Amino acid sequence: MEQQQAVTNETQAVITPFNFSEKSLDLLRTKSSFDICEGTARSSKTTTLAFKFGLHVNSSSHMQFFIAGATQGVARRNVVDEKNGFLALFRGCAREGTNTRYGSHLVFTDTLGREKIIYIFGFKDKARWQTVLGSTLGGGIIDEINIADVNFVNEVFRSLIAVDGFWLGATLNPDNPDKEIYTSYINKSIPLKKWEHDIPKPILEDLANADEKIKGAIYWHFNFNDNPIMTQNKVDLFKSLYPKDSFYYASKILGLRGVSEGVIFKMLDDSYLSKSSEYIYRAQKVIMDDIEYLFKTDAYTKYVFGVDLGGNQEKKGTRITFTGFHRQFQQLDVLGRKKLISEEAVALVVEICDFIEKWYKQVLTPIKIDAVYIDGYGAVNVLLPTIRKELVNRGINLKVRLAIKYGKNSTKTTDKATDADRHSRLMTLLLLFNLRRIRFINNSEGRELIRQLKTLVYNPKDNLPLDENQDAMDDYDSLCYTITPFITELNDNIMRDEERKRL
């Protein structure tokens, strides 16, 4: 009752025609540090969060806050300027800021007469958000958190975690449940028992299966019934806008998570873990258990290490993948994968070489290891000889090369892949998946690699993987580097085998 009365007292001064549903009022009343609102479009989740954000700004002792969206314009359109946006909800308290030093911002005058700054920015504008998050912030809103770079969200939490009494709100339409944002943040929240009946069963299961929870994080699922202005006629009209078998209908109308159109490796949808020592196929993939047997029988013709240097000082983006090719290149097995975390160059070299040495010792015929292929940021030219030297010091004599570029426009002298190169890599991987010629080791790393690949979508501009500097692209590139040396042999042998089957 005290919380409800506090909300009532604070809202008396706010003149707004918007009526809140019972669920929205519960969200406003519930004490939390992180409110996550997932659900259908037109369900009032953004308006509710914006109102709670205003109440928090008013009562907080901190003087700086933020509103973030995909871009500054999107943040303004979705949260600030719409009919029931922040400025409308708090007119008389919030106004446009004019101090150019703060960039795009609002000035909020609280009930004690204190003026507070609310920064507005896009999470794709890294220079901007790094500057803002370098300040002491009392909280904020992340609109469409499902499309935000996880590194941005990580920085938001690092910025807020040391602040007493912070509050963060996040909105999203349901998306691919394998995205890192779900496993790292969304699924670590807890729903109120009162509203569990409104949450789709698959989402409840995702929430229940999370290994740990974020203290003070509350999950809310919104639907059309939570928006007082959505009459049945409006709902019916809105439903007619999307085909019933589309991802957008499932996400925006039904509030279900799923895989959107344009997912590249859609054949990975129904993952299946083999519980026997045999190769078992479900959909278009396999996870293998009998790797020890494969090494003991020296079943592979060639082995390759692929390293994508992802700039570990900015984000932990360096990946290394170890693959094995069966005789006549009829099968590719992903034997190992690791996310490397060292930021300093020498430590990163040691971490790379530790991984290589671990697998090198398991190979019965080390001469079968073709090379270590590396590509990445500018320091690669410095790291190549350092890695060679470190391996030699460990008694490991391997070639360490720049990842091979291939495709009709590629040259031996270029350090940058052309679109033709990238298309060749993508087509080769798709060929391997669709012909069931690729398998993954059955451990946490193998399953994580599959999970990352499942999140990749096409960029409609070039039909290549959409590269937003996300973790999935680091894993994808590392895997690609392991197949480049054998592109011709792979294609020739696979095509010959398919031709034999047809005859």
State the virtual CA torsion across 236, 237, 238, 241 in degrees, nearest 10.
120
Cβ contact 420:410 at 8 Å: yes
Computed over every residue of the chain, the mean pLDDT equals: 84
Q: What is the pLDDT of residues 94-136, one digit of tens each?
A: 999 999 999 999 999 999 999 999 999 999 888 899 999 988 9
Q: Is the pLDDT of residue 411 over 80?
A: no
Least confident segment among 63-72, 220-229, 314-323, 337-346: 314-323
- Look at domain 13-231 and name its CATH class: alpha beta
State residue 488's pLDDT score. 59
Beta bridge partners of 438: 332
pLDDT band at 10 (very low <50, low <70, confident <90, very high): very low
**Where do you find CATH 3.30.420.280 in the chain?**
266-502
Percent of residues, the chain, with pLDDT higher than 90: 51
Burial of 378 from C-beta contacts in 10 A (0-12 / 13-18 / 19+): exposed
> What is the pTM (predicted TM-score) of this model?
0.65
Reported as a pLDDT band with limits 50, 70 and 90, residue 327 is: confident
Angle subtended at Cα 144 by Cα 171 and Cα 135, rounded to the nearest 5 degrees: 90
Q: Are 155 and 130 in contact (CB under 8 A)?
A: yes
Question: What DSSP string describes 47-86?
Answer: HHHHHHHHHHHHH-S--EEEEEESSHHHHIIIIISSTTSH
State the pLDDT confidence band at 404, using cuts at 50, 70 and 90. low
Q: Tally the residues of the chain.
A: 503
Q: Could you list the beta-strand ranges (E) of 377-417.
A: 400-402
Q: Give the single-character DSSP code of 450.
A: H
> In sequence order, which ranges of 210-269 are alpha helices (DSSP H)?
232-239, 247-248
Assess whether pLDDT exceeds 70 at residue 403: yes
* DSSP E strands, 138-278: 139-142, 167-172, 190-191, 217-222
Q: For residues 229 and 231, give the distance between their C-alpha atoms in angstroms, rounded to a whole number.
A: 6
| pLDDT surpasses 70 at 3 | no
The residue-averaged pLDDT of 341-359 equals: 92
Exposed/middle/buried for 428, CB within 10 Å: 0-12, 13-18, 19+? buried
Measured in whole angstroms, the distance separating CA 286 from the mean position of its chain's CA atoms is 23
Of the two residues 428 and 181, the one the predictor is more confident about is 181
Confidence of residue 196 (pLDDT cuts 50, 70, 90): very high
Distance from C-alpha of 330 to C-alpha of 321, rounded to nearest angstrom: 19
pLDDT, tens digit (0-9, with 9 covering 90-100), for 245-285: 677 788 888 899 887 777 888 777 643 333 332 333 333 44
* pLDDT band at residue 468 using 50, 70 and 90 as cut-offs: confident
Structural contact between residues 482 and 404, judged by C-beta atoms closer than 8 angstroms: no
| Residue ranges matching CATH 3.40.50.300 in the chain | 13-231
Task: Report residue 110 CA to chain centroid gap.
Answer: 36
- The confidence band for 412, taking pLDDT boundaries of 50, 70 and 90, is very low
**Per mean pLDDT, which range of 261-275, 301-315, 463-477 is the poorest?**
261-275
Rg (CA), the chain: 26
54 or 2, higher pLDDT:
54
Q: Which CATH architecture has domain 266-502?
A: 2-Layer Sandwich (3.30)
219 pLDDT more than 60: yes
At 276, the amino acid letter reads S
At a CB cut-off of 8 Å and minimum separation 6, what does 124 contact?
A: 70, 71, 149, 468
Q: What is the pLDDT of residue 435?
A: 77
Give the strands of the sheet with 64-69, arranged side by side: 94-96, 105-109, 115-122, 64-69, 139-142, 167-172, 34-39, 217-222, 190-191
pLDDT at 498: 60
